Structure 1
Amino acid sequence: MQRLVSVVLVLIACSVAEAAFGAGDIRVDLTHVDAGKELPKQELIRRAMQRSKARAAALSVVRNGGGFYGRSAQRRPAGVPVRPSGDLEYVLDLAVGTPPQPISVLLDTGSDLIWTQCDTCTACLRQPDPLFSPGMSSSYEPMRCTGQLCGDILHHGCTRPDACTYRYSYGDGTTTLGYYATERFTFTSSSGGRQTVPLGFGCGTMNVGSLNNASGIVGFGRDPLSLVSQLSIRRFSYCLTPYASSKKSTLVFGSLADDGLFDDATGPVQTTPLLQSRQNPTFYYVAFTGVTVGARRLRIPASAFALSSDGSGGVIIDSGTALTLFPAAVLAEVVRTFRSQLRLPFANGSSPDDGVCFAAPVTAGRLVSQVVVPRMTFHFEGAALDLPRQNYVLEDHRRGHLCILLADSGDDGATIGNFVQQDMRVLYDLERETLSFAPVEC
């Protein structure tokens, strides 16, 4: 009886928190995973490129399998290696439990589960924070198997009626197993304000992969297990600073009723529809329509970017991928047109981790002036994103390379990565089903 009363109280607390959440938006800092390592800009970007290749393989597995994050019985294409889940880009700090225990989690707009490692783990991954201890928290409550969120986990178990167990696998092969529970999560705004809300989360006891110097993952996807869904968040926004910047990126979520969100924009606010896939419901698909290089709109058929009824194709926007990823045929056309206007040869000896690189003239260890590059524009339904040079070009003075920050997606889908989103306010409006963006000095 006491256990039942406790569960009821937790459910009441959840309802109160969700109802009140829109009254105070949360604004938190995001830290890049390589921040503080004192690496030169070229190395920061090169490391992000390597993570993007792993992320591309993971996304391809998800799309080719016709499934989504959380499904473990996926067909892995031949030759695609198992990659760690730590191939993400941004970390946010929060606290879990009563009293609060600090943890750092990777932000992932491409998955749903909220989870961290618990001190009962028998297979534990390296992480910077102490393992979360459920026994030290007075608000930790195992979720009963009758709990709705337990049923929303594709692979869950009920060895006991009062304990929901879960298994959650990512497209890159990373897996976490453990107990699904309810706990209080505390978010501290950059302004100093705090909000504490109850959330369902995974208490990982057997974990395989890598967390890339974080202690868990918080899913910002579109399915019921995500933070966005659990808190009924209708709008969230981020502003990503360049990798080499000393300023931190920011994430804001809640009702975002304030019309001043774009007050600091240095250009027009543009809006395009968000699309959904029944086969891959987690992802944020956008109505992408084409690419312009220089003054030339490329003759790429609309079908190359279309989201098919079987879940294949389509274009997603993703915070966890650095490079923008195009299907091979689209990438080849973009590169061919770019090269014909740039009039530079491909670089000899560049590795796949360098992106698409060209040999530029060098004197005294520097590129001769700043090579004039063709402008690049991404077209969406109702919007056009004219990319700043630094968001799609990398100049490697030491090696005399000029590289464009694009790569092969490995399948017929595409991903808009975070390089092109830097110094831009991006707003996901799930009420209107739109994505808005404008240039900002983040």
Structure 2
Amino acid sequence: MEQRLVVLVLAIASLYACPAAPAFVGDDDVRVALKHVDSGKQLSRPELIRRAMQRSKARAAALSAVRNRASGRFSGKNNERQQTPPTGVPVRPSGDLEYVVDLAIGTPPQPVSVLLDTGSDLIWTQCAPCASCLTQPDPLFAPGESVSYEPMRCAGQLCSDILHHSCERPDTCTYHYNYGDGTMTMGVYATERFTFTSSDGDRLMTVPLGFGCGSMNVGSLNNGSGIVGFGRNPLSLVSQLSIRRFSYCLTSYASGRKSTLLFGSLSGGVYGDATGVQTTPLLQSLQNPTFYYVHLTGLSVGARRLRIPESAFALRPDGSGGVIVDSGTALTLLPGAVLTEVVRAFRQQLRLPFANGGNPEDGACFLVPAAWRRSSTTSQVPVPRMVFHFQGADLDLPRRNYVLDDHRRGRLCLLLADSGDDGSIIGNLVQQDMRVLYDLEAETLSFAPAQC
């Protein structure tokens, strides 16, 4: 009996020291609902997109900070090296993210709403007692009320994977994690049971995960209680569960319908009999290993492929440039010179003037002719088609994925913005009403039109 007890204790100890074991075999997949951060606020589509534009600005600055730090680039404004955080503190893009996942943590489970981020790795939530916490929709996670909560030992593999960790408490891993927008979380790195449920409340899976239990948090959590990183590094959900594939289908902001996230082996596929599935390789950067890069070769507006060199989208050895696919950014962000060419092409083909006195946060907007404004609030000015050309795949965008019709202001706006450096980001507006599949075994990204 004593021998069995010793074996049980050792098994539990090894679980809490390092929870990373492949969790998905066969068809053990999970499908959960994604809720947009502004859902239920009774806002019009233009209002929803204007709010998303503001968040994209913060996200663009955060992503630019990450790329510039990794490549050691100089700031174009003052020709001085951009400020970097203290040695050992990771910088990840946060900004105000876009989609929330409802799950539960602990035994018994406590509900938590976390923001989905394909551009970062750490899984964390705010914890009680909290020295400094941000406003959130849920009660703080109370580790003292969970029998499965266990601080991770410093010998745990995931503790050493946190660039800035310490062991000031006896054999307890503590962490400090910064995001590019100034959001910061500090606390105990621990292991806990995470429960994923379906949109109708059915329990789908309960697994042990390493996570940050934040008691000192600063910055922004837009309608969430924490962040779940879906990046490529060891701390992420993808890595801890050895997820082979994940997929999402994002609905229009104004549709009122929830989006969906699937992850696991997805051995049964996600497209069924769908036609028009296209696939392009995923690329990786040693300097920015978290991100999902793709090879964009060019852009078309109307029937004309723009004279933009492929090098404008290239991922360089120093980590600069490149094109990231990101769920946490609304707008598609392009380098300034590329954006100028795209806007020029639209203006030439639309033959419309720029809107006077427009808010610069709204991006490139054109004044709609009075005849169109008077005809109907649902009428739309014909616009040229827009196509993203990837290696081996062409993404021919639906109109609503790159154009905002702002009838109240009599304007038509492109859902594009300046990235702030020489990198690009494929945002979630472009990805709406598409089934997007990240295959981490084949190192490919696939997409196809879908009724999400």
Q: TM-score, normalised by structure 1?
A: 0.93
- 1:387-432 per-residue CA deviation (whole Å, 9 max, x = no partner) reads 0001000011111100010000000000000001000000000000
Distance 2:149 2:53 in 1: 39
Deviation track 1:19-51 (CA, whole Å, cap 9, x = no partner) reads 455542110000000000001111001100111
CA distance in 2, matches of 1:312, 1:51: 23
Match of 1:381 among 382, 387, 391: 391
Asked whether the equivalents of residues 365 and 397 of structure 1 are also in contact (C-alpha less than 8 Å), the reply is no
Deviates more, 1:282-291 or 1:362-371: 362-371
1:118 and 1:98 map into 2 onto residues whose CA distance is 15
* CA gap 1:252/1:393 in 2 versus in 1, 3 angstroms: same
Of all paired residues, the percent bearing the same amino acid is 74
Q: Is the 8 A contact 2:115 2:226 kept in 1?
A: yes
Q: What do you get for the CA RMSD once the two structures are aligned?
A: 2.4
Number of aligned pairs?
Answer: 431
SS at match of 1:105: strand
Partner of 2:318: 310
SS at match of 1:348: coil
Q: Which moved more, 1:168-177 or 1:362-371?
A: 362-371
Aligned counterpart for 1:166 among listed residues 171, 175, 179: 175
Partner Cα separation in structure 1 for residue 8 and residue 150 of structure 2? 11
User: Is residue 111 of structure 2 the alignment partner of residue 111 of structure 1?
Assistant: no
Contact persistence 1:83–1:209 (CA under 8 A): no
Q: Confirm or deny: 8 A CA contact 2:62 2:95 kept in the other structure.
A: no
Show CA shifts across 1:313-342 (max 9, x none).
000000000000000000000000111001
**In the aligned structure 2, how far is the partner of 1:397 from the partner of 1:23?**
47
> Structure 2 counterpart of 1:56, which letter?
A
Cα distance in 1 between the residues matched to 2:219 and 2:314: 33
Match status 1:222 vs 2:232: yes
Match of 1:79 in 2: none
Instruction: Show the counterpart of 1:189.
Output: 198
**Contact 1:86-1:209 within 8 A present in 2 as well:** no
Query: C-alpha separation between the residues in 2 aligned to 1:365 and 1:43?
Result: 22
Cα 1:49–1:195 shift into 2, 3 Å: same
Match in the other structure for 1:91: 100
Mean alpha-carbon deviation: is it higher for 109-118 or for 294-303? 294-303
| TM-fit CA distance, 1:361 | 1.3
The normalised TM-score by structure 2 is 0.91
- 1:219-298 maps to which residues of 2 (within 5 A)? 219-259=229-269, 261-263=270-272, 265=274, 267-298=275-306
- 1:6: Cα distance to partner? 6.1
2:381 pairs with 1:349: no
2:63, 2:92 within 8 Å by CA — same for their partners in 1? Answer: no
For residues 359-438 of structure 1, the aligned pairs below 5 Å read 359-362=367-370, 363-364=373-374, 366=376, 369-438=379-448
Higher mean C-alpha displacement, 361-370 vs 347-356: 361-370
> Are 1:121 and 1:206, in contact at CA under 8 Å, matched by a contact in 2?
yes
1:258 counterpart SS class: coil
The SS at the match of 2:253 is: coil
In the TM superposition, residue 64 of structure 1 has moved relative to its aligned partner by: 0.7
Structure 2 letter corresponding to 1:427: L
**Secondary structure of 2:339's partner?**
helix
Residues 1:163 and 1:110: Cα distance change in structure 2 (over 3 Å): same
Deviation at 1:160? Answer: 3.2
Q: Deviations over 1:285-321 (max 9, x none)?
A: 0011110000110111111000000000000000000
Unaligned runs of 5+ in 2: 73-81, 86-90
Specify every segment of 5 or more residues in structure 1 that has no aligned partner in the other structure, as ranges. 77-81
User: Counterparts of 2:156 and 2:61 in 1: how far apart (Å)?
Assistant: 34
Task: Give SS of 2:63's match.
Answer: helix
Contact 1:140 1:182 in 2 (8 A): yes
User: Which residue of the partner structure matches residue 45 of structure 1?
Assistant: 49
**Contact 1:29 1:248 (8 Å CA) reproduced:** yes
Is 2:24–2:265's contact at 8 Å kept on the other side of the alignment? no
Letter in 1 for 2:70: G
